[in-house]
């Protein structure tokens, strides 16, 4: 399929099965799964642990091949998209400074490294650009990871439970930071999370996965303009409905 218009990701008939190395038993994770993602749209995929959220993200990223189905992605220029990815762990190079970690990503994307300081300032790390990751807090390291992903101006941003390893106060701050960055630099994005309130706060659309293999149990359009507040009653109501779907 050739994607046209605003579509950036098209998944159709997607299937993936893993085999338990202990007994060889097949474990189907995805079967005949479909999803479309538009330019500028942030879609959150919510599900319990083991539902297949990260597998779905890794298939879109090209890190895991599907067993069957179609995975089509396109960038703003009609070619392959430039991907930015934020993992559960920062995955920084400890022997490089915060600035150097961002510069390496820029250079790998064929972009000038001079933009590193600007994006580090945008995530509140202007005073820590020369710090090594081992001297930074967990939240600061994840800010560098977010800065690295946004610095390359990706067509498609993939977020694999980026705040799940952080304490709730730090995670809340980074969710609000991500919202600010998204408002300043909107793009297509796929967020996988087990946190329904995080999904309601950040996403334009929430897809709830359940079962094994995963199926779409519910889908919601978040009818609230940005910036959003975690205390918004509408978002909490949506959170409650997602929890009920998961249960």
| Segment 27-37, tens digit of pLDDT | 889 989 999 99
Contact 7, 37 (CB under 8 A): yes
Contact 198, 53 (CB under 8 A): no
| Segment 67-95, tens digit of pLDDT | 999 999 988 788 888 999 999 899 999 99
The tokens describing 11, both together, are: 């998944």
Can you name the residues that pair with 44 across neighbouring β-strands?
191, 206
Q: Outline where 62-137 has alpha helix (H).
A: 98-108, 116-122
Q: Which residue has the tokens 């300043």?
A: 184
| Segment 222-246, tens digit of pLDDT | 999 999 999 999 999 999 999 999 8
Compute φ and ψ for 97, nearest 5 degrees. Answer: -70, 170
| Segment 129-182, tens digit of pLDDT | 999 999 999 999 999 999 999 999 999 999 999 998 899 999 999 999 999 999
| Segment 79-138, tens digit of pLDDT | 888 999 999 899 999 999 999 999 999 999 998 888 899 999 999 999 999 999 999 999
Contact 82, 156 (CB under 8 A): yes
Q: Cα dist. 57→14, 25, 45, 124, 169 in Å? A: 12, 23, 9, 28, 26
CATH of span 7-82+155-246:
3.40.50.300
The tokens describing 206, both together, are: 């929430």
Per domain, the residue ranges of the chain are 7-82+155-246, 92-153
pLDDT at 3: 43
Give the global pTM. 0.91
- For 198-228, give the secondary structure using H, E and C: HHHHHCCEEEEEECCCEEEEEEEECCCCCCC
- How far apart are the C-alpha atoms of 104 and 14, rounded to whole Å? 33
């Amino acid at each position: 399929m050739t994607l046209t218009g605003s579509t950036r990701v098209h998944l159709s008939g997607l299937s993936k099965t893993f085999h338990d190395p202990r007994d060889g038993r097949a474990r189907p994770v995805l079967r005949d799964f479909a999803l479309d993602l538009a330019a500028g749209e942030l879609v959150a995929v919510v599900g319990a642990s083991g539902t297949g959220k990260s597998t779905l993200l890794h298939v879109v990223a090209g890190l895991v091949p599907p067993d069957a189905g179609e995975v089509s992605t396109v960038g703003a220029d009609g070619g392959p998209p430039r991907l930015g990815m934020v993992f559960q762990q920062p995955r920084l190079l400890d022997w490089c400074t915060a600035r150097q970690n961002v510069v390496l990503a820029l250079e790998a994307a064929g972009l000038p490294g001079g933009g590193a300081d600007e994006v580090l300032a945008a995530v509140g790390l202007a005073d820590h650009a020369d710090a090594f990751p081992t001297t930074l807090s967990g939240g600061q390291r994840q800010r560098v990871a977010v800065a690295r992903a946004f610095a390359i101006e990706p067509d498609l941003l993939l977020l694999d439970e980026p705040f799940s390893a952080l304490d709730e106060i730090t995670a809340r701050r980074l969710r609000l930071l991500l919202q600010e960055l998204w408002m300043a630099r909107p793009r297509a994005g796929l967020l996988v999370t087990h946190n329904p309130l995080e999904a309601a706060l950040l996403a334009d659309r929430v897809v709830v996965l359940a079962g094994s293999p995963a199926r779409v149990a519910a889908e919601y359009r978040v009818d609230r303009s940005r910036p959003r507040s975690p205390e918004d009653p509408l978002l909490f109501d949506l959170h409650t409905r997602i929890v009920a779907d998961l249960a």
